Amino acid sequence: MSSTTRTVRSAIEIVNDTVERLRLEYRHRGHQENVSASAQVGLFGNLSGAEVAVEQRIEVGKNGEYVSVRHAIAVICAGFGCTEPLIETTRNLIFDCDHGDITEQGRLAARQQAQAHAEKCRAMPRPTN
Ligand SMILES: [Zn+2]
């Protein structure tokens, strides 16, 4: 493998890495405090060049009596003046299992929504100072 080869990580690898990191963080905090993070699993450009991202918001910690990993998948448009900047596609997709990718279906649906939004949204990219 040459040194110029770029590593392209799949969405599930990004999600799994984030879950793993959050599990460690949760343990380091003595299982007292829920921890959360967002993992970007898709990115589209809209008609004006603004970014429409698909994010998985992941939380590890107590949910009632049990420790679980919760996933919510959201489509976020960063376009300035966008009329629909946040589309929540799933909420509290709960699982506590390292096997398989049960978030795949939700992720694919979210990617389709992000693409559909990107194709009709005309909000401009936000200025970057
Ligand atoms: Zn938009």
Q: Write a three-state SS string for 46-76.
A: CCCCCEEEEEEEEEEEEECCEEEEEEEEEEE
What's at 27, amino acid-wise? R
* Ordered alpha helix ranges (H), the chain: 11-28, 104-120
* 121 CA distance to ligand 1 middle (Å): 5
* 122 CA distance to ligand 1 middle (Å): 7
* 35 CA distance to ligand 1 middle (Å): 29
* 55 CA distance to ligand 1 middle (Å): 15
* 66 CA distance to ligand 1 middle (Å): 37
Look at 87 and 7; give whichever has higher pLDDT.
Answer: 87
Q: Note the pLDDT of residue 37.
A: 96
* 94 CA distance to ligand 1 middle (Å): 28
* 87 CA distance to ligand 1 middle (Å): 10
pTM for the model stands at 0.79
* 77 CA distance to ligand 1 middle (Å): 5
Q: For residue 74, which of 57, 92, 94, 50 has the smallest C-alpha distance?
A: 57
DSSP 5: P
* 107 CA distance to ligand 1 middle (Å): 19
Residue 14: alpha-carbon gap to chain centroid: 9
28-67 per-position pLDDT tens digit: 999 999 999 999 989 999 999 999 999 989 999 988 888 8
- Name the band, by pLDDT with cuts 50, 70 and 90, for residue 100: low
